[in-house]
Amino acid sequence: MSGTINKIQERDELKRQLESLDNQIVNEQKNCSHDFPPAKYDPEIERVPSGYKMEGHGSDVYPVATGYMDKDKPRWSRTCKKCGKTEYTYTQKPTEYKPDFGK
Ligand SMILES: [Zn+2]
């Protein structure tokens, strides 16, 4: 099927372009002096079991999830204004001291 062969050639060409773009982006981001805006809260959604039931027999009993629910995992992100690089972190540290008038 020449139509299929054309699609394979087109796909391979797109793959090459994609690889080339990936390399260019990595290089440009590596050389960027980065200008990050303030980080924003950007939680990761985790699928966690919402319940368990025990399955198996005798000494070979193990818990099996009966369902799943989405749960926010605290995470922050920032994206460079110049190169679009996005960084993620799961940790926080104090970044600012403010005058304390005791109130
Ligand atoms: Zn940058």
Express each pLDDT in 16-72 by its tens digit.
999 999 999 999 999 999 999 999 999 999 999 999 999 998 889 999 999 999 999
Q: Ligand 1 center to residue 87 CA distance, Å?
A: 10
Q: Contact, 51 vs 67, CB < 8 A? A: yes
CB atoms within 10 A of CB 33: 7
Position 103 pLDDT exceeds 80: no
| Under 8 Å between Cβ of 25 and 85 | no
- For the record, the structure tokens of 93 come out as 């540290």
Rounded to the nearest whole angstrom, what is the distance from the C-alpha of residue 54 to the centroid of ligand 1? 50
Reduced to 3 states (helix: H, G, I; strand: E, B; else coil), residue 67 is strand
* CA 23–ligand 1 middle distance (angstroms): 15
State how far the Cα of 74 lies from the Cα of 53, in Å rounded to an integer: 28
Pairing mode, strands 44-57 and 60-73: antiparallel
Ligand 1 midpoint to CA 86 (Å): 9
Domain boundaries, the chain: 1-31
Give the C-alpha separation, 38 to 31, whole Å: 21
Q: Looking at the predicted structure, is the pLDDT value of residue 88 above 90?
A: yes
Q: Cα of 31 to ligand 1 centre, how many Å?
A: 8
Gap between the Cα atoms of 51 and 63, Å rounded: 9
